């Protein structure tokens, strides 16, 4: 629960660890601390706990438990998927989008520096890629298509089922970064023809530093980390059992509450969007419309004409309101959001944009207080600018 003086509206950056997940984790810090790779009986419970969590994570997406490989989070999973695909011998070209998370884009840049070739597809004004774009970009040496399930800044839900189907048709591996989507929208790895999928635990009420890479049974890729035989020789390093237990618990609970949480978040988000667009002159919504069904229910990204988001965020922070100017991984960057410029905003417009991402614990009162604060602060900022 938020403190009385805090309105937390940056759930796309991280979520509060669910109390049930914390309680489930605690024994594995203190009482049941055995190394699950050890042979003695004291390690049985940690080993069984990891197996249970593996199934909990798999059930959310219709996968088999044997297809879940625990990692430290979405960044590691993305790095593993892309790097292993290039090293697999299938080819040297990756097809991806210009609006991917930096964990994908910077891995692509690293691989390009080592001889790989990357095609960056440009989305439309709402952030969508079309399957036809992807298909037209295919070349004989394409080894991987990597398109995120849902965008972390503007909430666009990409047509991954159609992209996955064309990847299957052409015999090409399909990876999706589902960090913002897992436990927030329904995903079925079989229906969507997904070969590799990246997930991060702290985006759905799990602890930070946890995640997994889904690897379909028939996909043969190598390890990213080398050492011991953990994760069936795919990911070396002693398992983070408390974190794994917490993530599994959060996955099961969040999936069971998905419909309820989505409905609540959509109502909160729609209230904020309605008030901002009707009460603040020069405000616009980036990404898809809120009523089209192709946008994450908790996401709103606004541009305010003539306003610098960094200055606005400072004012809101002083009032106890937490929002962001885009991806949390890019905070402090001097350059404007690559997502917003990729969908056609100017650099000036991108620098005047903020992202609001609600959670199921937010209230309508908090939304109204935030809308009031945005209106009042933007009016004051514009008055100050016009007085110079």
Please report, to the nearest 10 degrees, the dihedral formed by the alpha carbons of residues 303, 308, 310, 312 taken in order. Answer: -80
- For residue 298, report the phi and psi dihedrals to the nearest 5 degrees: -100, 5
Sole residue written with tokens 């405000």: 283
| Spatial distance between the Cα atoms of 62 and 81, rounded to a whole number of angstroms | 20
Asked if 150 contacts 181 with a C-beta cutoff of 8 angstroms, the reply is yes
Catalytic machinery residues:
329
Asked if 233 contacts 209 with a C-beta cutoff of 8 angstroms, the reply is no
Beta bridge partners of 94: 118, 144
3-class SS of residue 133:
helix
Beta bridge partners of 1: none
Sole residue written with tokens 């969590």: 53
The tokens for 232 are: 């069936």
| Spatial distance between the Cα atoms of 206 and 18, rounded to a whole number of angstroms | 7
> In 10 A of CB 314, how many CB atoms?
11
Asked if 375 contacts 279 with a C-beta cutoff of 8 angstroms, the reply is yes
């Amino acid at each position: 629960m938020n403190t009385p003086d805090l309105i937390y509206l940056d759930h796309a950056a991280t979520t509060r660890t669910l109390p049930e997940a914390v309680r489930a984790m605690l024994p594995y810090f203190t009482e049941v601390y055995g190394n699950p790779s050890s042979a003695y009986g004291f390690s049985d419970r940690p080993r069984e706990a990891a197996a249970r969590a593996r199934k909990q994570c798999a059930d959310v997406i219709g996968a088999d438990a044997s297809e879940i490989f625990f990692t430290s989070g979405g960044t590691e999973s993305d790095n593993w998927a892309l790097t292993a695909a290039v090293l697999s011998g299938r080819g040297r070209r990756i097809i991806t989008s210009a609006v991917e998370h930096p964990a994908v884009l910077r891995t692509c840049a690293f691989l390009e520096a080592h001889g790989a070739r990357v095609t960056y597809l440009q989305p439309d004004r709402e952030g969508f890629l079309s399957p036809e774009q992807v298909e037209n970009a295919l070349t004989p040496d394409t080894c991987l298509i990597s398109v995120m399930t849902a965008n972390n800044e503007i909430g666009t839900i990409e047509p991954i089922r159609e992209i996955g189907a064309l990847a299957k048709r052409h015999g090409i591996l399909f990876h999706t970064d589902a960090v913002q989507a897992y436990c927030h929208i329904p995903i079925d790895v079989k229906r969507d023809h997904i070969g590799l999928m990246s997930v991060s635990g702290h985006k759905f009420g799990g602890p930070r530093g946890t995640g997994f890479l889904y690897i379909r049974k028939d996909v043969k890729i190598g390890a990213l980390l080398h050492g011991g035989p953990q994760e069936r020789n795919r990911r070396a390093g002693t398992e983070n059992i408390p974190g794994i237990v917490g993530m599994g618990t959060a996955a099961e609970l969040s999936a069971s509450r998905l419909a309820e949480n989505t409905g609540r978040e959509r109502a909160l988000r729609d209230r904020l969007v309605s008030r901002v667009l009707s009460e603040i002159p020069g405000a616009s919504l980036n990404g898809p419309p809120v009523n089209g069904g192709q946008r994450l229910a908790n996401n709103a990204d606004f541009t305010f004409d003539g306003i610098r988001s960094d200055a606005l965020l400072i004012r809101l922070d002083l009032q106890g309101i937490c929002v962001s100017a885009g991806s949390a991984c890019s905070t402090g960057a001097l350059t404007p959001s690559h997502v917003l410029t990729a969908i056609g905003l100017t650099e000036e417009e991108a620098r005047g944009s903020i992202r609001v991402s609600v959670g199921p614990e937010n209230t309508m009162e908090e939304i109204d207080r935030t809308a009031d604060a945005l209106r009042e602060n933007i009016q004051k900022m514009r008055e100050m600018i016009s007085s110079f």
